[in-house]
Structure 1
Amino acid sequence: MNDMITAKEVRCMGDDGTNYGIISTREAQSTADDLGLDLVLIAPDGKPPVAKIMDYGKFKYQQEKKKKEAKKKQKVIEVKEIKLSVKIAENDVNYKVKHAIEFLEAGKHVKFRVFLKGREMAHPEAGVEVLKRVWPMIEEIGVMDKQPKLEGRYVNMYVVPKNEHHKN
């Protein structure tokens, strides 16, 4: 920007679309100063490099504004985690599945985790069995995004709402 530009000559353009052609950097800088604007290098790899005469502060402000707009339009996906254990009772499973169904109906993603304690680590398939017991209860409203899989001390299964999955 401005005096930091080291190229001898630049292809210069104005903010209003005026094309100054290939001129010396010094000449481009003086033109920018006369207009009360900044000389900004747009394409430094070009032959010759491309510079634009513009209000840099205004340019930065508009870039920030665009970023904020894009961020507003993003959809945040909430992931709810439901923890189970290998020795979980049937009514506890039903209670946790009821909550999972509420989360899925609200459009949230659900991650089921079975924690393996002590010697249960020797038989991770027991955790997979618990998740396979849970799956039939939620398959009407959910889509299994990730199959039950051992990750560290947990066996995880990821479920997304059915209606959201069909949109993609």
Structure 2
Amino acid sequence: MPEVRLVGPNGEQVGIVRVEDALRLAEEADLDLVEVAPDARPPVAKLMDFGKFKYESAMKARDARRNQANTVLKEIRFRLKIDPHDYGTKKGHVERFLTAGDKVKVMIMFRGREQSRPEMGMRLLQRLADDVAELGHVESTPRLDGRNMTMVIAPHRKKAEARDDARREKERRRVEEGDSADEAPQTSAPTS
């Protein structure tokens, strides 16, 4: 005679009962009998509203997808002989990417005789890493790959944290602008 270990709708243990009795209890309570552990001896079944369970599972999965943030690998290219102003501009891009929570792959392209001076590329990458140290850390050290030298810098903060901070900052600015609009002096039309 087949038996199941029955769990009630609130998680309470009912005990080991025959399948027919479990089905009758489910029907009386207007619930479904769901087998939750078929490999157990005896199998475990639970009284639950299966439609509600599926709905709640779908909502949890949707919330998890919404809160998931994909870290993107941004790439920025340098030349060995870079102008100080161009370096500053590209460093600003790297800082912006790291602030947004993205990883940055920094690549130095060597041409001609520059290939015989990889230590200059190492110095440039080390300088960049030092300049953005408060926003990120070196995830993969500089390494020569053919005519290019690459290094990956990862942000200290996760993408989701950066996104939440940006959202809070935007909300704070919106509230401040709303307050300043309320404080603006009211002009009245002249009466004649």
Q: TM-score range by the shorter chain?
A: 0.5 to 0.7
Which residue of 47, 62, 70 maps to 1:68?
Answer: 62
| Count of matched residue positions in the alignment of Structure 1 and Structure 2 | 158
Structure 2 match to 1:109: 103
- Give the deviation of 1:11 after TM superposition: 0.5
In structure 1, the partner of 2:87 is 93
**Equivalent AA in structure 1 for residue 82 of structure 2:** A
Deviation per CA, 1:73-109: give whole Å up to 9, x if none.
4455454321234x55334434312321233345543
Q: TM-score, normalised by structure 2?
A: 0.60
Deviates more, 1:153-162 or 1:32-41: 153-162
Q: Tell me the equivalent position of 1:13.
A: 7
Identical positions, percent: 38
Q: Which residue of structure 2 lines up, in the alignment, with residue 28 of structure 1?
A: 22
Larger radius of gyration: 2
Q: For residue 103 of structure 2, what is the amino acid of its counterpart?
A: H
- 1:58 counterpart SS class: helix
Residue 129 of structure 2 contacts residue 153 of structure 2 at CA under 8 Å; is this kept in 1?
Answer: no
- Unaligned ranges ≥5, structure 1: 1-6
Distance 1:38 1:124, change over 3 A: farther
Secondary structure of 2:140 counterpart: strand
Contact persistence 2:4–2:44 (CA under 8 A): yes
Report the equivalent of 2:143: 149
Aligned to 1:3: none
How far residue 50 of structure 1 moved from its aligned partner, in angstroms, is: 0.8
Task: Give the structure with the higher percent strand.
Answer: 1
In structure 2, what residue type is equivalent to 1:49? P
Offset at residue 152 of structure 1 (A): 8.0
User: Could you list the runs of 5+ residues in structure 2 that have no partner in the other structure?
Assistant: 162-192
Does the CA-based 8 Å contact 2:5-2:17 persist in structure 1? Answer: yes
